[in-house]
Structure 1
């Protein structure tokens, strides 16, 4: 049996927008869609699964739907389901969050701790569909972007759109290059040229998706700004997250935190494998 795409529902408009997005995504990838609602054990009011299921059927009639009510706090419930999920999808904030929040506490907790990719559905309606025909992925220098690039390439493939790979870099503070190491300390590995960073990250995925449309964008400047600008004309932004040594969860970092709060389109956080 195929593992499901899981979406958290709580009756808020943001969660119903997440259901719309997740229903389309489940059809694109031909996977089941599981609607999950977390409720306290003594919860007596009607749960929102029925409303969410109706919404999903109207939005994507061919989606294979099921629903489940879990008696745990929302973050714990979704993280548990994420151990055997294609991905987790959440809205930007839920019913219990203050109206002024850019990102809800449950969405942030799930994005920071899940074992699978997490998509936070953000943005205006035109950004939550396929209007721009573009998926953007952030590529960093190192090993933290490999799984994210694979995820982004697969998304671009099923959407039949282009992949825009963005690598932002800056000149080291105080000069054009690092100072030479003191005698006896050995030679440090030089930073790779920015274009090489992109080429190395894309080589494998491009070979596996031979017909992919890929553009490379090297930007001198802050990564946050470069990715937000690229995402302004994208249907999905994808970023990677490293595992934290000796701790549960992921290392989101300041850039990913900012993107989760301000991205103009849905954003996927993909754990490094």
Structure 2
């Protein structure tokens, strides 16, 4: 049985845009869509108190948000199976638990209230950095969100990103689009022609190594999805800057994030962190368990 695609909802504009994106994504993969609202309403306000004061309780508000979001999802795709749940729990804790039973977890880039003024909501950042399933943070303009570029940007790092590569190829296959696979490279700062021990390794050597690493990383994906078009690119420069520049013309950017067993803190590299805060398209962070 296929696991559902889960969306964290809170009624914000960002959450609604994430839901729209998730509806289309679930339909592409033939998955059910599950909308989850996490709220610790029972810690602050009882249902009876809310009625006594003549206003909806937080619990009722949460249920209304989930119901209206589900209605929006059904209008966008009447044939999609949509499930809903209201969880009386801290949002990050609830979504991380939900991630264990999800094909992927989708969030907006900003939350409600004061958090909306930040580059990326703290909930989305925490979930992307710790979840055990792919997390897609929906950001960017309507062209990217609606998938009009026909291109998925895949950032390939030095280490093994097999799960991120597999995710990108599967997305490109169901969308019928091209993968723009990018490996950024740089000459170490200490290399120069006056350093005699390193004269034999000019810039083109590093570029060749980057190209070889890229070919190796993509090999399994190419074999599994031979119909997917792949454009390989090696670019000199910091990886986060290279990918941010190219993300503006992508429908989705995919990067890996290494998860070390037993580590409880945030596990995001500099590249993923920069993309989650600044990319001009949705960003998928795919965990690679070590």
TM-score (normalised: structure 1): 0.91
Paired residue for 1:13? 13
Deviations 1:118-168 (A, max 9, x none): 00000111110111000011001121x211011001000000000110100
Determine if contact 2:126/2:266 at 8 Å carries over to the other structure: no
Which of 201, 208, 212 is 2:217 aligned to?
Answer: 201
| Higher helix residue share | 2
**Aligned residues between the structures:** 264
Which of 56, 65, 75 is 2:82 aligned to?
Answer: 65
CA RMSD across the alignment: 2.0
Determine if contact 2:151/2:252 at 8 Å carries over to the other structure: yes
How many angstroms does 1:97 deviate by? 3.8
Taking the aligned partners of 2:279 and 2:105, their CA distance within structure 1 comes to: 18
Which of 247, 250, 256 is 2:272 aligned to?
Answer: 256
SS state at 2:264 partner: coil
Which of 128, 131, 137 is 1:111 aligned to?
Answer: 128
In 2 relative to 1, CA 176–54 (structure 1 residues): closer, same or farther, beyond 3 Å?
farther
In 2 relative to 1, CA 203–95 (structure 1 residues): closer, same or farther, beyond 3 Å?
same
Determine if contact 2:181/2:233 at 8 Å carries over to the other structure: yes
How many angstroms does 1:179 deviate by? 8.6
SS state at 2:100 partner: helix
Paired residue for 2:53? none
TM-score (normalised: structure 2): 0.86
Taking the aligned partners of 2:29 and 2:246, their CA distance within structure 1 comes to: 25
Determine if contact 2:115/2:122 at 8 Å carries over to the other structure: no
Taking the aligned partners of 1:129 and 1:96, their CA distance within structure 2 comes to: 26
Which of 73, 76, 82 is 2:93 aligned to?
Answer: 76
In 2 relative to 1, CA 233–60 (structure 1 residues): closer, same or farther, beyond 3 Å?
same
Provide structure 2 residue ranges, at least 5 long, that are not aligned to the other structure.
47-57, 199-204
Deviations 1:161-205 (A, max 9, x none): 001101001001111599969xxxxxxxx9771100110001111
Taking the aligned partners of 2:113 and 2:91, their CA distance within structure 1 comes to: 11
Determine if contact 1:243/1:250 at 8 Å carries over to the other structure: no
Paired residue for 1:96? 113
Determine if contact 1:242/1:250 at 8 Å carries over to the other structure: no
- 2:42 pairs with 1:26: no
